[in-house]
């Protein structure tokens, strides 16, 4: 209804307005602070919860406005100086300006609020397990290769855009990968190796914390004609590199890896070892980016996993958790859609001497669970372990667990929103939710991993102790 006189109400804020905003929260995806002015929600990058800021309004939508920070009017005791010179430009980190203990508390709230708001679940969300030194932890990086007049530059995408921020070092990746960045710039400036980046779109590198080895893959639209000829000289500039490959024919414009892969130097995979479990992993594999935190998840699971004899590992990737369960004495069935990852999982099982205890199947999880082999495996399982991608699991898979009345479900998620949605379906299907333990797999970012344990109502729970 129009107000008296027939004129439409103007929005309470307009572009160019300078207002004072009291900030109350952060958006996990972007790191923007959330506040209000004149009754309208305002998003602005820079402030922290509890801070007041002077903000210039840039964009006004129907229900919110986006502003630019002009001045902090007061400072939170949790504010710290970001340690990366391109923080705020690069899209990789969102909360370097928030002290690490406060990051952990904020992330606990993210999980608890998602469970309550999306899943309608009041849960025992424990304090997150964090890192002693929450830097230099990522074992994988995907650099964008950007052509320039004098050759190419390497970087990461800017926050909320596809603009590229040039990166010559990164304090979040492992030190070995940081040295790889320096080596790539050196190679791009050297005429003897620069031609190897002709037509390159991305450079993906993965390193092993235990082995010190790394592997590098250069993504191009078509098979590179120049990379094979300079690969050995390129490897000499990249400390610890044991293999270089060319990934090509990417399936989409935004894909960082291609459908096909050719090893042009050394080995396609590097070694990693976490708490006695050995892995050979390629740049394309799904493998957790924080090896130290995987070890902490193993330690959390170990007391209960030791008594479990039959496990199904859904979305098993290269076998990270399947191999852990097998080393604990269980017989494990792993299901994974990516056939390359399944081949790696089988090779990793042989590497660990547990091939007789493991069986890996390639296929979509929901379809495989409908097959006789999948149905039989569900019927025998004591525990189903799920570690799905950010989109979560699906109704068909969760309904299969409910129908099979699997005694215990352990669900590891990197997305509190989809975790909450999926847990609500399992609880509605007769499961009871036990502890939810977050693990800070991604310090300095808005992401958090959380492990939820569930059990059938007629089954005694497997209690997990705090780390």
Domain 1-79 class, CATH top level: mainly beta
pLDDT tens per residue, range 210-235 = 999 999 999 999 999 999 999 999 99
Query: Residues 92, 111: contact at Cβ < 8 Å?
Result: no
Q: How many CB atoms lie within 10 A of CB 15?
A: 13
441 pLDDT more than 90? yes
The rounded Cα 3 to chain-centroid distance in angstroms is: 49
- pLDDT at residue 428, as a whole number: 97
Helix (H, G, I), strand (E, B) or coil at 428: helix
Mean pLDDT of 149-175: 92
- pLDDT at residue 150, as a whole number: 81
pLDDT tens per residue, range 121-155 = 999 899 999 999 999 999 999 999 999 888 899 99
- pLDDT at residue 3, as a whole number: 52
Q: How many CB atoms lie within 10 A of CB 36?
A: 15
Query: Residues 273, 234: contact at Cβ < 8 Å?
Result: no
464 pLDDT more than 50? yes
- pLDDT at residue 5, as a whole number: 52
| Between 464 and 170, the higher pLDDT residue | 170
How far apart, in Å, are the Cα atoms of 71 and each of 21, 74, 84?
Answer: 11, 9, 21
Residue 393 CA to residue 377 CA, distance in Å, equals: 18
Mean pLDDT of 12-23: 94
β-bridge partners, 247: 219, 261
1 pLDDT more than 60? no
- Lowest mean pLDDT of 9-23, 53-67, 126-140, name the range: 9-23
- pLDDT at residue 285, as a whole number: 82
Mean pLDDT of 398-426: 97
- pLDDT at residue 326, as a whole number: 97
- pLDDT at residue 149, as a whole number: 83
162 pLDDT more than 90? no
Kindly report the CATH number that applies to the domain delimited by 115-130+286-456.
Answer: 3.40.50.150
Mean pLDDT of 277-303: 94
Mean pLDDT of 316-337: 96
Residues 6+ apart with CB under 8 A from 304: 462, 463, 464
Query: Residues 285, 456: contact at Cβ < 8 Å?
Result: no
Q: Establish whether domains 1-79 and 140-273 are of one fold.
A: yes
Residue 133 CA to residue 395 CA, distance in Å, equals: 39
The number of CA neighbours under 13 Å toward the Cβ of 172 is 25
- 152 phi, psi to nearest 5 deg: -140, 160
Query: Which residues are designated catalytic?
Result: 414
DSSP 79: B
Q: How many CB atoms lie within 10 A of CB 284?
A: 23
How far apart, in Å, are the Cα atoms of 61 and each of 40, 160, 161, 202, 279?
Answer: 10, 17, 19, 35, 49
Give which of 172, 190, 259, 270 is closest to 222, Cα–Cα. 259
Helix (H, G, I), strand (E, B) or coil at 96: coil
- Lowest mean pLDDT of 78-82, 294-298, 397-401, 459-463, name the range: 459-463
Mean pLDDT of 404-429: 97
The pTM for the full model equals: 0.93
140-273 fold: OB fold (Dihydrolipoamide Acetyltransferase, E2P) (2.40.50)
- pLDDT at residue 360, as a whole number: 97
Domain extents in the chain: 1-79, 115-130+286-456, 140-273
Query: Residues 136, 446: contact at Cβ < 8 Å?
Result: no
pLDDT tens per residue, range 357-393 = 999 999 999 999 999 999 999 999 999 999 999 999 9
Mean pLDDT of 342-349: 95
Note the residue count of the chain.
Answer: 467
- DSSP, residue by residue, 105-172: HHHHHHHHHHHHHHH----EEPPPB--SS-SS-BSEEEEEEEEETTEEEEEEEBTTSS-EEE-S--SS
Residues 6+ apart with CB under 8 A from 353: none
8 pLDDT more than 90? no
Residue 360 CA to residue 321 CA, distance in Å, equals: 12
Query: Residues 383, 311: contact at Cβ < 8 Å?
Result: yes
11 pLDDT more than 80? no
- pLDDT at residue 459, as a whole number: 93
| Between 52 and 151, the higher pLDDT residue | 52
Residues 6+ apart with CB under 8 A from 383: 308, 310, 311, 312, 406, 407, 408, 409, 410
């Amino acid at each position: 209804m129009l107000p008296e006189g027939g004129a439409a109400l103007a929005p309470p804020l307009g572009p160019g307005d300078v207002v004072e905003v009291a900030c109350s929260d952060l958006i996990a995806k972007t790191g923007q602070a959330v506040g209000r002015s004149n009754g309208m929600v305002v998003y602005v990058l820079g402030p922290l919860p509890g801070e007041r800021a002077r903000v210039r309004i840039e964009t006004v939508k129907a229900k919110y406005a986006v502003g630019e920070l002009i001045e902090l009017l007061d400072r939170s005791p949790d504010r710290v100086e970001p340690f990366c010179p391109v923080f705020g430009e690069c899209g990789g980190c969102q909360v370097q300006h928030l002290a690490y203990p406060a990051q952990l508390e904020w992330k606990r709230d993210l999980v608890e609020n998602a469970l309550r708001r999306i899943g309608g679940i009041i849960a025992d969300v424990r304090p997150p397990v964090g890192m002693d030194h929450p830097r230099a932890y990522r074992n994988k990086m995907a650099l964008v290769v950007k052509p320039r007049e004098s050759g190419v530059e390497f970087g990461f995408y800017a926050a909320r855009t596809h603009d590229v921020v040039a990166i010559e070092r990164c304090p979040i990746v492992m030190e070995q990968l940081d040295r790889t960045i320096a080596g790539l710039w050196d190679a791009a400036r050297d005429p003897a190796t620069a031609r190897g980046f002709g037509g390159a779109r991305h450079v993906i590198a993965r390193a092993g914390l235990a082995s010190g080895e790394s592997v590098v893959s250069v993504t191009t639209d078509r098979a590179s004609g120049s990379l094979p000829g300079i690969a050995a000289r390129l490897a000499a500039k990249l400390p610890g590199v044991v293999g270089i490959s060319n990934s090509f024919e990417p399936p989409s414009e935004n894909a960082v890896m291609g459908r096909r892969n050719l090893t042009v130097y050394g080995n396609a995979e590097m070694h990693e070892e976490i708490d006695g479990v050995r892995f050979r992993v390629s740049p394309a594999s799904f493998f957790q980016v924080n090896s130290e935190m995987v070890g902490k998840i193993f330690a959390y699971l170990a007391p209960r996993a030791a008594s479990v004899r039959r496990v199904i590992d859904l979305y098993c990737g290269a076998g990270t958790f399947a191999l852990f369960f097998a080393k604990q004495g269980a017989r494990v069935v792993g299901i994974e859609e990516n056939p390359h990852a399944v081949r790696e999982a089988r090779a990793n099982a042989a590497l660990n001497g547990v091939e007789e205890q493991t069986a890996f199947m390639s296929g979509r999880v929901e379809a495989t669970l409908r097959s006789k082999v999948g149905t039989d495996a569900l019927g025998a399982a004591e525990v189903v372990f799920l570690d799905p991608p950010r989109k979560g699991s699906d109704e068909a898979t969760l309904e299969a667990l409910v129908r099979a009345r699997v005694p215990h479900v352990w669900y590891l998620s990197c997305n509190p929103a989809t975790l909450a949605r999926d847990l609500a379906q399992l609880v509605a299907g007769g499961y009871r939710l036990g502890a939810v333990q977050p693990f800070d797999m991604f310090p300095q970012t808005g992401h958090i991993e959380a492990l939820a344990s569930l059990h059938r109502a007629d089954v005694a729970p497997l209690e997990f102790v705090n780390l």
